[in-house]
Amino acid sequence: MAISAVSATTLREAPPPRRQRLLEDERWLAFVLLVPTIVLLGMFIAYPFIRGILLSVTSSRVGMPGDFVGLANFYKIFNDGIFRTSVYNTFVYTGVTTVFKLALGLWLAMLLNRNFRGKAFTRAFILLPFIIPTVLSTFAWKWMFDPTFSVLNWLLYHFGLITGRINWLGDPDLAMISIIVVNIWRGVPFFAISLLAGLQTISPELNEAAAIDGAKPWQRFWHITWPLLLPVTMVVVLFSVIQTFADFQIVYVMTGGGPANATHLFATYAYQIAIGTGLLSEGAAIALAMFPVLFLVVIIQLLYIRRVEVR
Protein backbone atom coordinates (compact mmCIF):
# COMPACT_ATOMS: atom_id res chain seq x y z
CA MET A 1 0.00 0.00 0.00
CA ALA A 2 2.60 2.48 1.09
CA ILE A 3 4.75 1.78 -1.90
CA SER A 4 1.97 2.24 -4.43
CA ALA A 5 0.93 5.47 -2.72
CA VAL A 6 4.45 6.85 -3.07
CA SER A 7 4.69 5.90 -6.71
CA ALA A 8 1.35 7.55 -7.42
CA THR A 9 2.61 10.79 -5.93
CA THR A 10 5.77 10.73 -8.00
CA LEU A 11 3.74 10.10 -11.13
CA ARG A 12 1.53 13.03 -10.44
CA GLU A 13 4.45 15.33 -9.89
CA ALA A 14 6.27 14.33 -13.06
CA PRO A 15 6.15 17.35 -15.42
CA PRO A 16 4.00 16.79 -18.55
CA PRO A 17 5.72 17.15 -21.93
CA ARG A 18 6.44 20.71 -23.00
CA ARG A 19 3.91 20.78 -25.84
CA GLN A 20 1.11 19.66 -23.60
CA ARG A 21 2.02 22.32 -21.04
CA LEU A 22 1.76 25.07 -23.65
CA LEU A 23 -1.77 23.96 -24.56
CA GLU A 24 -2.79 24.10 -20.89
CA ASP A 25 -2.39 27.85 -21.22
CA GLU A 26 -5.73 29.18 -22.45
CA ARG A 27 -4.17 31.98 -24.50
CA TRP A 28 -2.10 29.52 -26.49
CA LEU A 29 -4.97 27.10 -26.83
CA ALA A 30 -7.24 29.85 -28.13
CA PHE A 31 -4.63 30.87 -30.66
CA VAL A 32 -4.15 27.32 -31.89
CA LEU A 33 -7.88 26.83 -32.26
CA LEU A 34 -8.22 30.08 -34.19
CA VAL A 35 -5.45 29.35 -36.69
CA PRO A 36 -7.61 27.50 -39.28
CA THR A 37 -10.11 30.35 -39.36
CA ILE A 38 -7.41 32.98 -39.63
CA VAL A 39 -5.74 31.12 -42.48
CA LEU A 40 -9.01 30.66 -44.38
CA LEU A 41 -10.20 34.23 -43.92
CA GLY A 42 -6.76 35.54 -44.77
CA MET A 43 -6.30 33.49 -47.89
CA PHE A 44 -9.72 33.87 -49.39
CA ILE A 45 -10.95 37.23 -48.16
CA ALA A 46 -8.19 39.49 -46.83
CA TYR A 47 -5.58 38.63 -49.48
CA PRO A 48 -7.85 39.09 -52.54
CA PHE A 49 -9.22 42.30 -51.04
CA ILE A 50 -5.78 43.80 -50.44
CA ARG A 51 -4.60 42.52 -53.81
CA GLY A 52 -7.58 44.31 -55.38
CA ILE A 53 -6.68 47.55 -53.68
CA LEU A 54 -3.05 47.24 -54.78
CA LEU A 55 -4.16 46.45 -58.30
CA SER A 56 -6.42 49.48 -58.49
CA VAL A 57 -3.56 51.91 -57.94
CA THR A 58 -1.38 50.51 -60.73
CA SER A 59 -1.58 50.54 -64.47
CA SER A 60 -1.41 46.75 -64.85
CA ARG A 61 -3.12 44.98 -67.71
CA VAL A 62 -3.34 41.35 -68.65
CA GLY A 63 0.29 40.25 -69.11
CA MET A 64 1.75 43.58 -67.89
CA PRO A 65 2.58 44.18 -64.23
CA GLY A 66 2.34 47.97 -64.69
CA ASP A 67 3.51 50.81 -62.42
CA PHE A 68 2.11 52.70 -59.49
CA VAL A 69 -0.20 55.43 -60.77
CA GLY A 70 -1.89 56.64 -57.60
CA LEU A 71 -5.62 57.37 -57.95
CA ALA A 72 -5.45 57.84 -61.70
CA ASN A 73 -7.75 54.85 -62.33
CA PHE A 74 -10.40 56.22 -59.98
CA TYR A 75 -10.10 59.64 -61.58
CA LYS A 76 -10.60 58.02 -64.95
CA ILE A 77 -13.67 56.01 -64.07
CA PHE A 78 -15.40 58.92 -62.38
CA ASN A 79 -15.19 60.75 -65.66
CA ASP A 80 -16.45 57.72 -67.56
CA GLY A 81 -20.06 58.04 -68.77
CA ILE A 82 -20.66 54.29 -68.77
CA PHE A 83 -19.38 54.02 -65.22
CA ARG A 84 -21.82 56.73 -64.13
CA THR A 85 -24.63 54.92 -65.88
CA SER A 86 -23.59 51.71 -64.10
CA VAL A 87 -23.69 53.47 -60.72
CA TYR A 88 -27.11 54.89 -61.47
CA ASN A 89 -28.32 51.50 -62.74
CA THR A 90 -27.02 49.70 -59.68
CA PHE A 91 -28.91 52.01 -57.32
CA VAL A 92 -32.12 51.80 -59.33
CA TYR A 93 -31.78 48.04 -59.69
CA THR A 94 -31.13 47.54 -55.97
CA GLY A 95 -33.73 50.04 -54.80
CA VAL A 96 -36.61 48.94 -57.00
CA THR A 97 -36.03 45.21 -56.61
CA THR A 98 -35.63 45.44 -52.83
CA VAL A 99 -38.94 47.27 -52.42
CA PHE A 100 -40.76 44.72 -54.58
CA LYS A 101 -39.02 41.73 -53.05
CA LEU A 102 -39.88 42.91 -49.56
CA ALA A 103 -43.50 43.69 -50.39
CA LEU A 104 -44.14 40.49 -52.35
CA GLY A 105 -42.07 38.37 -49.97
CA LEU A 106 -43.95 39.66 -46.94
CA TRP A 107 -47.29 39.12 -48.62
CA LEU A 108 -46.33 35.58 -49.57
CA ALA A 109 -44.99 34.89 -46.09
CA MET A 110 -48.27 36.04 -44.53
CA LEU A 111 -50.21 33.75 -46.88
CA LEU A 112 -47.94 30.80 -46.17
CA ASN A 113 -48.23 31.40 -42.44
CA ARG A 114 -51.89 30.41 -42.57
CA ASN A 115 -53.12 26.88 -42.19
CA PHE A 116 -54.10 25.17 -45.41
CA ARG A 117 -53.90 21.79 -47.05
CA GLY A 118 -50.54 21.05 -48.64
CA LYS A 119 -48.81 23.71 -46.56
CA ALA A 120 -45.45 21.95 -46.28
CA PHE A 121 -45.39 21.15 -49.99
CA THR A 122 -46.24 24.72 -51.01
CA ARG A 123 -43.60 26.14 -48.70
CA ALA A 124 -40.94 23.92 -50.28
CA PHE A 125 -42.26 24.68 -53.77
CA ILE A 126 -41.97 28.43 -53.21
CA LEU A 127 -38.21 28.03 -52.82
CA LEU A 128 -37.73 26.73 -56.38
CA PRO A 129 -36.56 29.98 -58.02
CA PHE A 130 -33.99 30.24 -55.25
CA ILE A 131 -32.75 26.67 -55.65
CA ILE A 132 -32.35 26.54 -59.44
CA PRO A 133 -28.89 27.75 -60.49
CA THR A 134 -29.32 31.42 -61.36
CA VAL A 135 -27.58 31.12 -64.71
CA LEU A 136 -29.95 28.39 -65.85
CA SER A 137 -33.13 30.12 -64.79
CA THR A 138 -31.88 33.37 -66.27
CA PHE A 139 -31.32 31.66 -69.61
CA ALA A 140 -34.95 30.52 -69.46
CA TRP A 141 -36.00 34.10 -68.80
CA LYS A 142 -33.81 35.27 -71.68
CA TRP A 143 -35.86 33.09 -74.00
CA MET A 144 -39.07 34.45 -72.61
CA PHE A 145 -37.83 37.95 -73.37
CA ASP A 146 -36.41 37.03 -76.77
CA PRO A 147 -37.96 39.28 -79.44
CA THR A 148 -38.71 36.35 -81.78
CA PHE A 149 -39.52 33.49 -79.43
CA SER A 150 -40.89 35.53 -76.53
CA VAL A 151 -43.77 33.79 -74.80
CA LEU A 152 -44.64 37.15 -73.31
CA ASN A 153 -45.09 38.72 -76.72
CA TRP A 154 -47.09 35.70 -77.82
CA LEU A 155 -49.44 36.04 -74.85
CA LEU A 156 -49.82 39.80 -75.21
CA TYR A 157 -50.41 39.40 -78.95
CA HIS A 158 -53.06 36.72 -78.52
CA PHE A 159 -54.88 38.73 -75.89
CA GLY A 160 -54.87 41.56 -78.39
CA LEU A 161 -52.84 43.90 -76.21
CA ILE A 162 -50.07 44.46 -78.76
CA THR A 163 -49.88 44.35 -82.53
CA GLY A 164 -46.14 44.24 -83.13
CA ARG A 165 -43.29 42.53 -81.33
CA ILE A 166 -41.79 44.12 -78.28
CA ASN A 167 -38.02 44.03 -78.29
CA TRP A 168 -37.66 43.51 -74.54
CA LEU A 169 -33.92 43.34 -74.30
CA GLY A 170 -33.19 45.64 -77.22
CA ASP A 171 -34.65 48.77 -75.67
CA PRO A 172 -32.60 50.32 -72.82
CA ASP A 173 -35.60 50.96 -70.50
CA LEU A 174 -37.36 47.68 -71.26
CA ALA A 175 -34.09 45.82 -70.79
CA MET A 176 -33.68 47.40 -67.35
CA ILE A 177 -37.27 46.49 -66.44
CA SER A 178 -36.67 42.95 -67.68
CA ILE A 179 -33.63 42.32 -65.51
CA ILE A 180 -35.43 43.88 -62.55
CA VAL A 181 -38.33 41.47 -63.06
CA VAL A 182 -35.98 38.49 -63.15
CA ASN A 183 -34.18 39.64 -60.03
CA ILE A 184 -37.47 40.06 -58.18
CA TRP A 185 -38.62 36.61 -59.31
CA ARG A 186 -35.39 35.11 -58.04
CA GLY A 187 -35.26 37.08 -54.79
CA VAL A 188 -38.84 36.79 -53.52
CA PRO A 189 -38.50 33.18 -52.22
CA PHE A 190 -35.62 34.16 -49.96
CA PHE A 191 -37.68 37.00 -48.50
CA ALA A 192 -40.80 34.86 -48.23
CA ILE A 193 -39.15 31.94 -46.47
CA SER A 194 -37.01 34.08 -44.14
CA LEU A 195 -39.94 36.30 -43.20
CA LEU A 196 -42.12 33.22 -42.76
CA ALA A 197 -39.58 31.89 -40.28
CA GLY A 198 -39.77 35.25 -38.52
CA LEU A 199 -43.57 35.23 -38.52
CA GLN A 200 -43.61 31.81 -36.92
CA THR A 201 -41.71 33.09 -33.91
CA ILE A 202 -44.59 35.52 -33.22
CA SER A 203 -47.09 33.85 -30.92
CA PRO A 204 -50.57 33.64 -32.47
CA GLU A 205 -51.92 34.58 -29.04
CA LEU A 206 -50.61 38.12 -29.59
CA ASN A 207 -52.80 38.51 -32.65
CA GLU A 208 -55.75 37.03 -30.80
CA ALA A 209 -55.19 39.36 -27.87
CA ALA A 210 -55.04 42.30 -30.26
CA ALA A 211 -58.21 41.12 -32.02
CA ILE A 212 -60.03 41.05 -28.69
CA ASP A 213 -58.49 44.43 -27.84
CA GLY A 214 -60.29 45.81 -30.87
CA ALA A 215 -57.55 45.97 -33.50
CA LYS A 216 -58.71 45.45 -37.09
CA PRO A 217 -56.59 43.17 -39.33
CA TRP A 218 -54.42 45.93 -40.78
CA GLN A 219 -54.02 47.48 -37.32
CA ARG A 220 -52.88 44.12 -36.01
CA PHE A 221 -50.34 43.96 -38.81
CA TRP A 222 -49.12 47.49 -38.22
CA HIS A 223 -49.05 47.47 -34.42
CA ILE A 224 -48.12 43.85 -33.68
CA THR A 225 -46.76 41.84 -36.61
CA TRP A 226 -44.65 44.48 -38.34
CA PRO A 227 -42.75 45.75 -35.26
CA LEU A 228 -42.11 42.22 -34.03
CA LEU A 229 -40.91 41.13 -37.46
CA LEU A 230 -38.68 44.17 -37.93
CA PRO A 231 -35.38 42.65 -36.71
CA VAL A 232 -35.78 39.72 -39.11
CA THR A 233 -36.83 42.07 -41.91
CA MET A 234 -33.73 44.20 -41.40
CA VAL A 235 -31.39 41.20 -41.61
CA VAL A 236 -33.13 39.90 -44.73
CA VAL A 237 -33.05 43.32 -46.40
CA LEU A 238 -29.38 43.70 -45.46
CA PHE A 239 -28.42 40.43 -47.11
CA SER A 240 -30.54 41.12 -50.13
CA VAL A 241 -29.18 44.65 -50.66
CA ILE A 242 -25.60 43.41 -50.50
CA GLN A 243 -26.31 40.61 -52.95
CA THR A 244 -28.31 42.73 -55.35
CA PHE A 245 -25.85 45.60 -55.28
CA ALA A 246 -23.07 43.24 -56.33
CA ASP A 247 -25.26 41.18 -58.68
CA PHE A 248 -23.60 39.87 -61.81
CA GLN A 249 -25.20 36.73 -63.22
CA ILE A 250 -28.63 37.99 -64.23
CA VAL A 251 -27.36 41.00 -66.15
CA TYR A 252 -24.44 39.11 -67.67
CA VAL A 253 -26.70 36.41 -69.04
CA MET A 254 -29.70 38.54 -69.99
CA THR A 255 -28.12 41.57 -71.65
CA GLY A 256 -24.38 41.39 -71.12
CA GLY A 257 -24.70 45.02 -70.04
CA GLY A 258 -26.34 46.08 -73.28
CA PRO A 259 -27.98 47.40 -75.30
CA ALA A 260 -25.19 49.91 -75.79
CA ASN A 261 -23.96 49.54 -72.18
CA ALA A 262 -27.36 50.71 -70.88
CA THR A 263 -27.87 47.98 -68.27
CA HIS A 264 -24.40 47.61 -66.77
CA LEU A 265 -24.08 47.25 -63.01
CA PHE A 266 -20.88 47.68 -61.01
CA ALA A 267 -20.00 44.01 -61.29
CA THR A 268 -20.71 43.51 -64.97
CA TYR A 269 -18.92 46.70 -65.94
CA ALA A 270 -15.91 45.82 -63.79
CA TYR A 271 -15.84 42.41 -65.49
CA GLN A 272 -16.09 43.91 -68.95
CA ILE A 273 -13.25 46.37 -68.34
CA ALA A 274 -10.97 43.99 -66.43
CA ILE A 275 -11.47 40.72 -68.30
CA GLY A 276 -13.18 41.80 -71.51
CA THR A 277 -10.70 44.53 -72.38
CA GLY A 278 -7.83 43.43 -70.16
CA LEU A 279 -7.59 46.64 -68.13
CA LEU A 280 -7.16 44.80 -64.82
CA SER A 281 -6.37 47.84 -62.70
CA GLU A 282 -9.28 49.89 -63.99
CA GLY A 283 -11.63 46.95 -63.43
CA ALA A 284 -10.36 46.63 -59.88
CA ALA A 285 -11.04 50.31 -59.32
CA ILE A 286 -14.64 49.92 -60.53
CA ALA A 287 -15.22 46.92 -58.30
CA LEU A 288 -13.73 48.75 -55.32
CA ALA A 289 -15.99 51.74 -55.92
CA MET A 290 -18.84 49.54 -54.60
CA PHE A 291 -17.11 49.07 -51.31
CA PRO A 292 -17.83 52.39 -49.53
CA VAL A 293 -21.51 52.17 -50.37
CA LEU A 294 -21.91 48.59 -49.19
CA PHE A 295 -19.85 49.32 -46.09
CA LEU A 296 -22.17 52.19 -45.20
CA VAL A 297 -25.28 50.07 -45.77
CA VAL A 298 -23.92 47.36 -43.50
CA ILE A 299 -22.98 49.79 -40.75
CA ILE A 300 -26.35 51.57 -40.78
CA GLN A 301 -28.36 48.37 -40.75
CA LEU A 302 -26.28 46.64 -38.13
CA LEU A 303 -26.60 49.65 -35.85
CA TYR A 304 -30.34 49.67 -36.44
CA ILE A 305 -30.70 45.96 -35.76
CA ARG A 306 -28.84 46.38 -32.51
CA ARG A 307 -31.12 49.22 -31.47
CA VAL A 308 -34.20 47.17 -32.24
CA GLU A 309 -32.89 44.20 -30.31
CA VAL A 310 -31.91 46.25 -27.28
CA ARG A 311 -35.28 47.89 -26.80
- Is position 223 an interface residue for other proteins (rule: CB under 8 A)? yes
Interacting stretch for other proteins, rule CB under 8 A, among 86-94, 142-150, 185-193, 200-208? Answer: 200-208
- Is position 55 an interface residue for other proteins (rule: CB under 8 A)? no
Please pick, from the candidates 41, 92, 140, 209, the single residue that binds other proteins as defined by CB under 8 A: 209
Pick the closer one to other proteins by CB: 147 or 217: 217
Q: How far is the CB of 120 from other proteins (least distance, A)?
A: 18
Pick the closer one to other proteins by CB: 18 or 117: 117
Q: How far is the CB of 203 from other proteins (least distance, A)?
A: 7
CB proximity list for 176: less than 8 A, separation 6 or greater: 89, 92, 93, 262, 263
Total residues contacting other proteins by CB under 8 A comes to 18
Pick the closer one to other proteins by CB: 203 or 243: 203
Q: How far is the CB of 236 from other proteins (least distance, A)?
A: 18
CB 196 within 8 Å of CB 114: no
Distance CA 80, CA 281 (A): 15
Question: x-or-dash pattern for other proteins, window 131-160, by CB under 8 A?
Answer: ------------------------------
Q: How far is the CB of 299 from other proteins (least distance, A)?
A: 24
- Is position 227 an interface residue for other proteins (rule: CB under 8 A)? yes
- Is position 309 an interface residue for other proteins (rule: CB under 8 A)? no
Q: How far is the CB of 244 from other proteins (least distance, A)?
A: 29
Question: x-or-dash pattern for other proteins, window 160-199, by CB under 8 A?
Answer: ----------------------------------------
- Is position 72 an interface residue for other proteins (rule: CB under 8 A)? no
Displacement of CA 7 from its chain's centroid (Å):
64
CB 59 within 8 Å of CB 278: no
DSSP the chain: -HHHHHHHHHHHHSPPPHHHHHHHSHHHHHHHHHHHHHHHHIIIIIHHHHHHHHHHTB--BTTB---B-TTHHHHHHHT-HHHHHHHHHHHHHHHHHHHHHHHHHHHHHHHHTS--TTHHHHHHHHTHHHHS-HHHHHHHHHHHT-TTT-HHHHHHHHTTS-SS---TTTSHHHHHHHHHHHHHHHHHHHHHHHHHHHHHTS-HHHHHHHHHTT--HHHHIIIIIHHHHHHHHHHHHHHHHHHHHT--HHHHHHTTT-STTTT--HHHHHHIIIIIS--HHHHHHHHHHHHHHHHHHHHHHHHHHHHHHH-
Q: How far is the CB of 212 from other proteins (least distance, A)?
A: 5
Pick the closer one to other proteins by CB: 154 or 222: 222
Interacting stretch for other proteins, rule CB under 8 A, among 107-115, 119-127, 201-209, 290-298? Answer: 201-209
Please pick, from the candidates 210, 237, 253, 280, the single residue that binds other proteins as defined by CB under 8 A: 210
Residues at the contact surface with other proteins, assessed by CB under 8 A: 203, 205-206, 208-216, 219, 223-224, 227-228, 311
